[in-house]
Amino acid sequence: MEFISVFDVFKIGVGPSSSHTLGPWKAALRFVESCTKAGFIEQNTTLSVSLYGSLSLTGKGHATDLAVMMGLAGYDPVTVDTKSITDIIDGIKAQKSLTINSKRILFDAENAIRFEHEFLPFHANGMIFLAEKADGTVFSETYYSIGGGFIIWEGEEMSTFENAPDHPYPIQNSLELLAYCKKHDKTISDIVFENELVDRSEKEIREGLLTIWRVMLDSMYLGCHTDGYLPGALKVKRRASDVTKKLMQSETTYQNADEWLKAIQATNPNFQDVMKWVGSFGIGVNEVNAAFGRVVTAPTNGSAGVIPAVLMYYLCFVNKSAGNDEIVRFLLTAGEIGSIFKKGSTISAAMGGCQAEIGVSSAMAAAGLTELMGGSPEQCTIAAEVAMEHHLGMTCDPIGGLVQVPCIERNSMGAIKAINATAIALDRNPEDIKVPLDNVITTMWETAKDMNRKYKETPEGGLATAVNIIDC
């Protein structure tokens, strides 16, 4: 049985897309590692990559080509200074080469990155890397970016956990999760925490999750305090900052994200303003994501704003005395729901449309919020089901292939739906439920398989064709 850690679901990286940016970036890093082991990193070795399917069709808008270059050049998406990315890319293009292990590797970006419109058979996000020595010897590997920053290479088994340590609570679906909770009288976060303890110490788990929250909070803060326009042909105006200025009292001062959070807690907003705050939190994160900034996959980059927005809602407007314990519990619960969706369906928009991104993130956030609100494990899964049920069939149709329209606004909508789903779940008796979470996950996957390919992260349908980018 596959074990997916909460740290697999929540990954720190660079925008704008987990499957089209972070995945190819990581694949390029891994290919260089493979080349090094195979003895193919020699002076004047030539590298190239062919992008297929959705990676090709929307690769420019998702900065897939830039991500490949950053990965081949050896930069880590978790630690790279995002402000330096443009200079790094310009340098690679100008020199038409990379330096790997002190060797000059030939790489003419204009010709070495090929956008092939064919789809590889295994997954819509396919890429083939190739290294050629000066003597003509060739080394090649095929990779797939399967959503949420997860990658596999051709020939790798989907589940490679035969030699992994046993976890006390192997979970494939929500029924198994609930059975453990009932048998041991534990919350969802308790169960997940004990599984995580097999691979990490209690300190490492807490510190790791709080680091994830720090990146989420910082991305909200940056997005809600940055004016101007997003990069790309659409010239989308940033909106989170304007909303923040209107909502925050002019005399309020703060210097960082933590002080900002406390300043919001000190306000007394009405219902409408609370909803505006939640919307700006989600939009702010994804404006940072769209500008090649650092965010956390939750479970993807395109849906990175939903979970931070809902957790921020709880900290600012529901329980102002909450602290690290509540943050850790929220992320553990949300992460487990995300892993169950990945096992039973998909978190890749190229495979399932936006229901696989915003829908899953909304379900994750709803479950996490429900636990913090005192809901039972059953009510947590009810909240997740309600959130996903009302995202079923949502297409992925970004205009110009950019993770901007309609993606950014959808994070606001997904957060609001998560909060509403929690309210509904807390008033429900689990014995009255007609649609269990596992059924809606199955339905989501069936919907994904039936959905026309042009509505799954291509520029070939929906808003991507209804709106002429030239007129924007």
* Rounded average pLDDT over 241-254: 89
Whether the pLDDT of residue 244 is over 60: the answer is yes
pLDDT band at 34 (very low <50, low <70, confident <90, very high): very high
Query: How far apart, in whole angstroms, are the C-alpha atoms of residue 275 and residue 309?
Result: 10
Model pLDDT, residue 157: 56
pLDDT tens, position by position, 214-232:
999 999 999 999 999 999 9
* CA-to-CA dists, residue 150 to 94, 232, 382, 412, angstroms: 31, 26, 27, 25
The reply to whether 18-153 and 174-471 are identical in fold is no
Query: How far apart, in whole angstroms, are the C-alpha atoms of residue 7 and residue 268?
Result: 35
* Rounded average pLDDT over 275-299: 97
- Nearest 5°: phi and psi at 97? -165, 165
Enter the pTM of the model.
0.92
* Rounded average pLDDT over 401-416: 96
Model pLDDT, residue 469: 64
Q: Work out the percent of the chain whose per-residue pLDDT is above 90.
A: 90
Whether the pLDDT of residue 162 is over 60: the answer is no
234 Cβ neighbours under 8 A, 6+ residues apart: 399, 400, 402, 404, 405, 469, 472
- Nearest 5°: phi and psi at 130? -140, 135
pLDDT tens, position by position, 5-24:
999 999 999 999 999 999 99
Architecture field, domain 174-471 = Orthogonal Bundle (1.10)
pLDDT tens, position by position, 315-328:
999 999 999 999 99
Please give the single-letter amino acid code of residue 380.
C
Whether the pLDDT of residue 182 is over 60: the answer is yes
Model pLDDT, residue 156: 67
Q: Spell out the domain ranges in the chain.
A: 18-153, 174-471
Task: Calculate the dihedral angle through the C-alpha atoms of 237, 240, 243, 249, rounding to the nearest 10 degrees.
Answer: -130
Place of tokens 């769209």: 290
Whether the pLDDT of residue 196 is over 70: the answer is yes
- What is the overall mean pLDDT for the chain? 94
Collapsed DSSP state (helix, strand, coil) of residue 12: strand
DSSP annotation of 166 = P
Centre a 10 Å sphere on the Cβ of residue 357 and count the other Cβ atoms it contains: 37
Whether the pLDDT of residue 300 is over 90: the answer is yes
Query: How far apart, in whole angstroms, are the C-alpha atoms of residue 250 and residue 234?
Result: 31
18-153 to CATH, choices 3.40.1350.10, 3.30.1330.90, 3.40.50.300, 3.40.50.720:
3.30.1330.90
DSSP string across 50-110: EEEEHHHHSTTTTTHHHHHHHHHTT--TTTS-GGGHHHHHHHHHHHTEEEETTEEEE--HH
What's the residue count for the chain? Answer: 472
Burial of 163 (0-12, 13-18, 19+ CB in 10 A): exposed
